[in-house]
Amino acid sequence: MLKFNSFHIIGILCAAALKCTAEAPAPDKLLPADTLAVVTVKDFARTQTVLKQAPLARLWNDPAMLSFRKKFDAKFKAEVTEPFEKRLGVKFADYTPLAQGQITLAVIQDGWTGQESTLPAWVLLLDSKNESTNLTARLSELRKKWTDMGKQLKSEKVRGVELTTLFIKPEELALSGAQVPGSEEAKSSRPIEVIVGQSNTLLLMGSSLKVLEKVLVRQSGGALPGLNEQPAFEGSDQSILRGSLAYGWGNVALLYDVIAKMALQQSITPQQPSPMGLSPAKALSVSGLAGLQTVSAGVMHSADGNLFALSLGAPTTKREGLLKLLALETKECSPPPFIPSAVTKFRRWRLDGQKMWSSLEAMIAQISPQLSGVLQMSLGALGKDQDPNFDFKKSFIANLGDDMISMEKPPRTNSPEELYSPPSLFLIGSPKPDQLVQAIRAATALVPSATGEGLKEREFQGRKIYSLALPPLSGPQGGRARVFLFAASGSYVAMSSDDAFLEEYLRSPDTTAKPLREASGLSESAQRVGGFGPGMFGYDNRHDTMKFVFEEFRNGGGSLEKLFGDAPLGERPEVDESLKEWFDFTALPPFEKIEKYFYHTVFAGGVDDRGFSAKFFVPTPPKLKTP
C-alpha cells in the first residue's frame, strides 16, 4: 500500500502548479490548417528586453530626446490611448504585464472565398504563463465594466471555456476628434463582434466562435488538422519559423486561389469593355504569381545586431511570368573598386537584361496580342527618323548585360531640393555600352523636352555626355527643373540627374578615393547576410543620411509634407493638420548628441531551387557596444 508524507504532497502540488502554468503550445500547433497568415512574437517578455537594447529604442529614451518625446507621448496618450480606454472600459497598462509568452495574431480563411458578404476571421492569442490568475481576474473585471457601461454582451461555454462576445459599434473605434468614414452609414451597420475568453494560461480573442473552438480543440490535443500539418507551412524556410524571436508567415497560394476566382468573376461580368482585350483574370494568370506559394519573414537577435530574414517560396518548376522575369543571376555583387566610400547608398542586382526583356515581351503578348502589336510597332519606329536602317531592339536588347548598380551621395547642402533628392547615379552593365547609348538616344524621342530643344551632347574627357531637360515635377518647394544625363564608360552606361556625380564616375579610373569595399565594418556586416550576394547586395550609411535629415528638421526646415513631398509621380500627400501637432522638430537635439545610435545596414539576396531569399542586417553601432 502506498504511503504519502508531507514531502510527497508538496511535490504533487508543485507538479500540478507547474502543469497549470506551463506555456501554451506554439502557434502552428494551435492554429487551424486554413490559416492564411500569422504574425507571432514567440516570447514577448524576452523580446521586450531585446527591443529595449535596440539602437532606435535607446535613441528614443535618450535624455537628449526628452523634449521631443514628451510632446509626442502626450498627444498619443490624449488622442489614441485614452479615447480607446474610455470607450472600451480598459486600461492598457493593466494588461501589459499579462504578456509573458507568445503573442500571436492570425487571419483564418474560415470558409471565405472572396464573397463580399463574409470576411476571413481573425484570432489573437496571448500566453500569460505564470500570470494566468491575474488574467482571470482582469477578464472578470472587464466583463463587469462592460456590463456596467451598458455594452451588449453574450456569454456561452465552448469546450468548457467561457467565451464572451462584445458587440462594438463602428463609431466607437474612431480616434478622438476624428470622423468615421461614412459615419451615418457606419452607425446603422451591424456591430463588430469581438469574442474574448481564457483557456488555462491562454487569452483568446477573435471574430469567429467556430475558429476559436478549433483553437481550443488543438490546445487540448484534438485530431483537428493544424497549421503545423499544413504542407505549405512545413515546406517553408524552417530556419526562419523555428529560429526567430518573431516571425510572420503567409499562405500566398491559398490567397491567390481566392483572388483568381474574384478576377475570373469580374472578367465574366465586366463593368465596361476592356481596352485592347485586357482581362484581370488573364493578366493574373500570365503574371506567374500562381507560382508563389508562401512568404516567411523573421527577426533574429545577437549582441552584434539584428538580422531580418525573408523567404518567398517559389519552386523553380513553378516560376513563370514575373517570377521568371525577376530571377536573379548567381553572380558576384560586391561593390566594384570604382564605388567610393563616400556614397550613402549602394545597390547591385545581377539581372540578365536580355532574359528580362524576352520574358516581358512574352507576358505582354499573352495578356493582350493587340497591346503587344502596338508595342512592337512603336519600338520598330524608334530612331528611323535619323537612320532608316536603325534597329532599336537590336541596339538596345542585344546590348543589355546582367549587372545593374545604383548609388547615392550625401546632399551637398541642406536645401530641401538636395535633402530629398540627393545626387544619385544608375549604371547598366553592357557588353557594348556605346551601342546601348545610341539606343537610349533613340528612346529619348518619346520623352517630352521641357525646353523644346531636345537632346544635347557635350564632350568630357573623351566621352560624350547626353542631356535632356525634363518637365518639372512638384516637390517640397514646388516645381523644379530636372535633367536626364547619360554616358558610356567602361562596361556600363551611366545615367543621372546630377552633372557632378556623372563626371566623377567618368573620372573614376583615375581617382585615388577610398573605395566602398574598404569601408569600416562592411565586410563583417556582409558576412552576416551570406556575403556579397549572390544575386543582390545593398548598403546604407544611416549615419551620414540621418545627419542631414536631422539638422534640416531641427533647424525648422523640415515638415511632414517635405518628408513625403517627392512622391514618385510628383504628388504631394496631404498631411492631417492634427498630426503636425504631434511632432515638434525644433525640440530635436543636435545630431552630435545622438549620432552614436546610427551606423550602417546591409542586405543581400539570391535565388535557389526553393525560391527567393533575402537577409537584412542592422549591426549594433560600435559606440553602443559594451567593452
Q: Would you tell me the crossing angle of helices 369-381 and 353-367 to the nearest 10 degrees?
A: 130
Distance CA 488, CA 482 (A): 21
What does the CA dihedral 15, 16, 21, 25 come to, rounded to 10 degrees? 90
Between 170 and 106, the higher pLDDT residue: 106
Distance CA 327, CA 285 (A): 18
CB 383 within 8 A of CB 445: yes
Residue 95 inside a domain? The answer is: yes
605 band by pLDDT with thresholds 50, 70 and 90? very high
pLDDT digit string, tens, across residues 425-464: 999 999 999 999 999 998 888 888 767 788 999 999 899 9
Distance CA 440, CA 487 (A): 10
473 band by pLDDT with thresholds 50, 70 and 90? low
CB 213 within 8 A of CB 270: no
Structural domain count of the chain: 1
- Name the nearest CA neighbour of 541 among 423, 410, 405: 410
Buried b (16+ CB within 10 A) or exposed e, 364-403: bebbbeeebeeeeeebeebbeeeeeebbbeebbbbbbbbb
- What is the H or E stretch that residue 469 is in? strand 463-473
Residue at 246: amino acid letter: A
The three-state secondary structure class of 386 is coil
Q: Is the pLDDT of residue 278 over 80?
A: no
pLDDT digit string, tens, across residues 25-77: 999 999 999 999 999 999 999 999 998 889 999 999 999 999 999 989 998 88
10 band by pLDDT with thresholds 50, 70 and 90? very low
The structure's pTM equals: 0.86
Residue 186 inside a domain? The answer is: yes
Q: Is the pLDDT of residue 325 over 90?
A: no
| Alpha helices (H) along 89-131 | 92-95
Average pLDDT over residues 522-541: 93
Q: Is the pLDDT of residue 266 over 80?
A: no
Residue 549 inside a domain? The answer is: no
Residue 427 inside a domain? The answer is: no
Lowest-pLDDT range of 146-150, 235-239, 342-346: 146-150
For cell 552593365, name the residue: 429
- What is the H or E stretch that residue 313 is in? strand 305-313
Distance CA 249, CA 46 (A): 21
Joined together, the cell numbers standing for residue 439 give: 539606343
Distance CA 429, CA 439 (A): 14
pLDDT given for residue 268 in this prediction: 55
First vs last C-alpha separation in the chain: 62
For cell 547586395, name the residue: 537
| Alpha helices (H) along 245-321 | 252-268, 280-287
Report DSSP letters for 249-267, one per residue. EEEHHHHHHHHHHHHHHHH
- Name the nearest CA neighbour of 205 among 45, 95, 307: 95
Residue 29 inside a domain? The answer is: yes
**Parallel/antiparallel/unpaired status of strands 404-408 and 103-108:** unpaired
pLDDT given for residue 271 in this prediction: 55
pLDDT digit string, tens, across residues 544-591: 988 888 887 887 665 555 544 443 333 444 445 566 678 888 888 999
pLDDT given for residue 627 in this prediction: 62
Between 363 and 88, the higher pLDDT residue: 363
pLDDT digit string, tens, across residues 344-394: 999 999 999 999 998 898 888 888 888 888 888 888 888 888 788 888 888
CB 361 within 8 A of CB 378: no
pLDDT given for residue 20 in this prediction: 44
The shares of helix, strand and coil residues in the chain, as percent rounded to the nearest 5, are 45, 25, 35
- Name the nearest CA neighbour of 528 among 238, 309, 239: 309
476 band by pLDDT with thresholds 50, 70 and 90? very low
Residue 130 inside a domain? The answer is: yes
For cell 533574429, name the residue: 300
Residue 221 inside a domain? The answer is: yes
pLDDT given for residue 502 in this prediction: 95
Preceding amide of 225 cis, omega within 30: no
CB 317 within 8 A of CB 298: no
Neighbour-count burial of 236, counting CB atoms closer than 10 A to its CB (0-12 exposed, 13-18 middle, 19+ buried): buried
Residue 211 domain boundaries: 25-229
Neighbour-count burial of 162, counting CB atoms closer than 10 A to its CB (0-12 exposed, 13-18 middle, 19+ buried): middle
- What is each CA distance from 206 to 123, 505, 580, in whole angstroms? 4, 57, 34
Residue 422 inside a domain? The answer is: no
Q: Is the pLDDT of residue 403 over 50?
A: yes
Task: Quote the mean pLDDT of the chain.
Answer: 84
